[in-house]
Structure 1
Amino acid sequence: MFTEERQNAIEKCLREKGKVRVKELSEMFQVTEDCIRKDLKILENAGRLKRTYGGAILSQEYPLERNVVDRRMYNLDKKKVIAAKAFRLIKNNETIFLDVSTTNIELARLIASSGMHIVVVSNMIDILQILAANPSITAIGTGGTMYRSVNGFMGAAAIEVIKQYSFDRAFLGSCGVDMTDFAVTTSGVEDGLTKKAAAQSSRHKYVVMEREKFYFNESYKYTHFDDISGIITDEFPDDTIVNILRNTGVKLL
């Protein structure tokens, strides 16, 4: 098979499956893994896919290019599964932090409909509005510079407020993980620094993210695996990633 034919076949597999793995493609086409990596690099440069840890996804299906506001309905069923798992970790009378995250919007709905008495600090307006409906919940906004793309506050002023608290738990969003550097990532420095401050102010910190985010990462690393209590996801990733996470001490929930 010629190189161009193989690359077209790789793209066909991507369209059928949504993602591909280097090892599987190597076995399928009977070529080395380095050869497949070169194919993926060429296809990425042509804008036909986005390389990820150990494979690739279709570039046009990359969900993180959308603003947070536009992602509210994306993978909603999966976010509800993650939110339910996160909710079960919260205890009465705790003080928690809910980061800018569409999954945390679903977690806020569960908290608001419960009979719990807790303090919730958040930098996302959607979350504060949901929690304000329940008088048993003390909802506190960080304030700061407003970012329309996330409908929330990020940056120095928000960080200063966050630093004044000692949270029992923080639930932090993510744009993916860097499996080579064992880091959790997000798309910008302001968001990253704000998340980092919340993590540093919390006794227990959990990353909430869909399974697909294990296969790509974004530009800013805001925390590392050895600094978090666990990752809450809708479904575990493949065994290779699960083993890496376990070896670095990350608890999967």
Structure 2
Amino acid sequence: MLAPERQKKIVQLLREAGTVYVSDLSQRFDVSEETIRRDLDRLEREGVAHRIHGGAISFEHTRIEPSYRAKLHLNTEQKQTIAAEAAKMVEEGDTVILDMSTTTVFLAKELRRKRDITVVTNFPLVINEFADASNVTVVSTGGTLNRPGFCLVGHETEEFVRGLHVDKTFLSTKAISVEYGLTEGDLANIAVKKLMIAAAKQVILLADSSKFGSVAFAQLAPLSAIDVIVTDDRISPEQVTEIEELGIKVIVAGT
């Protein structure tokens, strides 16, 4: 069995059981424990698993946040599709906020082709996408670097965003449910994201389908704070109906 196939099966086991152990996987796949450790190290870099002594646990079964580098490689195809759809909502002359999320990095790639727009962000990776896009005005919020998320947060950031009035805010979140709304795993980001929501005439949530029906550590906002949700075609029709009944527009990208 080749490594990619074995790693795919390990991911399936993680999702089913939440925890896997090196010794068990070594016997199951008839490979050395060192080979399994390399597999688990790779899955951790990709943001699928968190390494523990003797094995690994799924990020879906822990409050530990994968790094921003790992998140960039999670659900990439869905994020690209969502970003392409969301970019259609940005018009010439718009001022928009892009929050700290890897989906907004993909959106930034799409917005490079827009003319006469202003982008406000607290995410250096988004700023970097516009480095040579002279047709886009880029404004940094300033603030203190939150290293786990590689974003700018703190009092300076909050005061800057509090004074803004923009056309649209594009943001993401860790988990979404009808009962608990948008929930986050990183408390440092919540205050800034709340202000980004308050600053916009229209709030657009960018969320791949894996985030629906789950709850994270702390609430960011109720679903009623969102005007439009852009997601991928793996979301169930029942979930779409449930959200639309709350008066929120759901755009399923790629359909």
TM bracket (short chain): 0.7 to 0.9
Aligned to 1:207: 205
CA contact (8 A) 2:14 2:58 kept: no
Q: TM-score, normalised by structure 2?
A: 0.73
Aligned to 2:81: 81
| 1:131 CA displacement | 1.2
Change (3 A) 1:156 1:178: farther
| 1:241 CA displacement | 1.9
CA contact (8 A) 2:65 2:185 kept: no
- The alignment yields a C-alpha RMSD, in angstroms, of 2.5
Aligned to 2:102: 102
Aligned to 1:243: 241
Structure 1: which amino acid aligns with 2:242?
Answer: I
Structure 2: which amino acid aligns with 1:76?
Answer: T
| 1:16 CA displacement | 7.6
Aligned to 1:30: none
| 1:165 CA displacement | 1.1
Q: Deviations over 1:91-139 (max 9, x none)?
A: 0011000000111001111111x14110100000010111121111110
Query: Percent identity among equivalent residues?
Result: 22
CA contact (8 A) 1:166 1:202 kept: yes
| 1:140 maps to 2:139 | yes
User: CA–CA distance in 2 between the matches of 1:98 and 1:145?
Assistant: 17
Q: Deviations over 1:201-243 (max 9, x none)?
A: 0000011111011032211211111111111112252233222
| 1:77 CA displacement | 1.0
Q: Match of 1:237, SS?
A: coil
Structure 2 counterparts to residues 1-253 of structure 1, below 5 A: 15=12, 60=58, 62=60, 65-112=65-112, 114-181=113-180, 183-235=181-233, 237-253=235-251
Return 5+ residue gaps in structure 1 as ranges. Answer: 1-11, 20-42, 49-58
CA contact (8 A) 1:69 1:151 kept: no
CA contact (8 A) 2:95 2:166 kept: yes
| 1:163 CA displacement | 1.3
User: CA–CA distance in 2 between the matches of 1:167 and 1:236?
Assistant: 31
Structure 1: which amino acid aligns with 2:130?
Answer: L
Q: Deviations over 1:173-198 (max 9, x none)?
A: 110113323x1111122211111100
Q: Deviations over 1:23-71 (max 9, x none)?
A: xxxxxxxxxxxxxxxxxxxx77xx58xxxxxxxxxx6263973112321
Return 5+ residue gaps in structure 2 as ranges. Answer: 1-8, 21-56
| 1:244 CA displacement | 1.7
CA contact (8 A) 1:236 1:242 kept: no
Q: TM-score, normalised by structure 1?
A: 0.74
Q: Match of 1:161, SS?
A: helix
Aligned to 1:7: none
CA contact (8 A) 2:178 2:223 kept: no
User: CA–CA distance in 2 between the matches of 1:187 and 1:17?
Assistant: 20
